[in-house]
Amino acid sequence: MLAKKIKVLVVDDSIVVRKMVSDALRNDPDLEVVGTATDPYVARDKILELKPDVLTLDIEMPKMDGLTFLKILMKHHPMPVIIMSSLTQAGSRMALDALEAGAVDVLVKPGSALFLNDMASELILKIKAAGSSRGASRGGVSAGVGGRIASGPVRYHSKQMIFLGASTGGTEALKEVFMQLPGDLPGICIVQHIPGSFSGPFAERLNSVSAMEVREARDGDVIRPGLALVAPGDFHMILQRRGADGFMVQIKQGPKVMHHRPSIDLFFESAAPLAGLRAVAGIFTGMGRDGADGLLALRRAGARTFAQDEKTSIVYGMPRVAFEVGAAERVLPLQGIAAYIVKAAALASAAKPAL
């Protein structure tokens, strides 16, 4: 149990959703639902009156949509916000806009009794992550982004790959990194904890700012230079050998691993025996410990490994564990990760490197 309960305000125009969310949160001893609001105007008054630690916010509401309210909130009264979004394409894109505007995380808007099971547990985990998030890092992590790193004369090894894992705060952190990476790097595989309906639009958004091609992974996709594959939300992704010299990804269902599907550990552990020596791998911001054991396996196999530092992490959980167990040989600020990836990949293209 947490030393102090996290106070939550639930904002949604649906009385059914407000009740489902409130009932689910009240079952956790670490959380306290201090109130609900039907629209942003009521929410504004209750934020000042009740002083919640975390807000759950519907993205589509009458009078004022959640995205507009979020932008106002982040400007005048910044606080951790979990966005509740529909499964529609428009809802998914607005949810990504909300993450860009400073929301901590997103969750599919609940419907029916399904919410009483996995979705309720997922929301509780996200609220606890939001409650422990670093206010100084929220809202516009891309403000410090540098320019695109120029492609160099390096001839990368045909078996080289780059593996990245992220959770809470990771969508914007990865966006900053991809804005800087050159387009000729070895193939990249990304495991981001994200709902199923959001991973496709997230990959499209990365693609729009990247010199590499970025898209959602499909079963059997071949890893190749200049391509970055994003694990589909609600599916596991693992690495497999393809022929004598190639590699591909397998996309599959299966039980959640430490509450997550996709699981960073599952992917990293599948990659370690196949590509460890020539790999560069890292863990970004997020709550919990997913990825730490897999990153350790990669490091032991010879990969160059890193973790995002505490100051620039929205939630310093996964990177902290990765460092504590000895999985990350380097701890880096977000603004330095792109340059490190390029340098490490260049060194890994020759013999076993030493940074």
Are 188 and 222 contacting, i.e. CB atoms less than 8 angstroms apart? no
DSSP 8-state code for residue 333: -
The whole-angstrom separation of Cα 234 and Cα 211 is 27
Q: Distance between CA atoms of 144 and 190, rounded to whole angstroms?
A: 22
Catalogue the active-site residues: 167, 193, 290
How far is residue 36's CA from residue 55's CA, in Å, rounded to a whole number?
10
Q: What angle do CA 335, 341, 343 make, to 5 degrees?
A: 105
Closest CA to 16 of 35, 38, 32: 38
* Residue 154, phi then psi, degrees to nearest 5: -65, 135
Distance between CA 188 and CA 217 in Å, rounded? 11
Are 131 and 320 contacting, i.e. CB atoms less than 8 angstroms apart? no
What is the C-alpha separation between 165 and 327, in angstroms, rounded? 13
Cα–Cα distance between 179 and 121 in angstroms, integer?
33
CA geometry: angle at 132 spanning 128 and 136, to 5°? 140
Residues 120, 7: Cα–Cα separation, whole Å: 17
> Which residues, 6+ apart, have CB-to-CB distance to 338 below 8 Å?
146, 149, 176, 177, 178, 179, 180, 181
Q: Are 8 and 127 in contact (CB under 8 A)?
A: yes
| Other CB atoms within 10 A of residue 149 CB | 16
Cis peptide before 319 (omega within 30 of 0): no
Spell out the alpha helix ranges (H) of 192-280.
196-209, 264-275
